[in-house]
Amino acid sequence: MSDLLTNIAHWRNPRSYPEPGTPPRKLLDAASRSLSVLGLADEADLAALRAEYDPAPTTDTPQAKRSLPPAPPKSPPAGPAPSR
């Protein structure tokens, strides 16, 4: 939408910057505002998604202690078993 408004504003003279208060200048201002609004909406959407799917850790939940992995199970003895 912003590109459309900018292209309309520069339709007759693409290299000049319109004077304040003229319709082309108002179109450029509207294009700028629409980009600002879309930027704010994008930030709000991203914040909502992060809050839903990637919440910050709470202080009520204890943090898992970092430790070494468990020791491997003991292997059975090699060789013949003693007989009676």
The b/e string for 8-33 (b: 16+ C-beta within 10 A; e otherwise) is ebbeeeeeeebeeeeebeebbebbee
24-83 confidence digits (pLDDT tens): 888 888 888 888 898 899 999 999 999 888 877 777 655 556 677 777 777 776 767 666
Mean pLDDT across the stretch 13-26? Answer: 79
Higher pLDDT, 31 or 9: 31
Query: Which contiguous run of DSSP H or E holds residue 49?
Result: helix 23-53
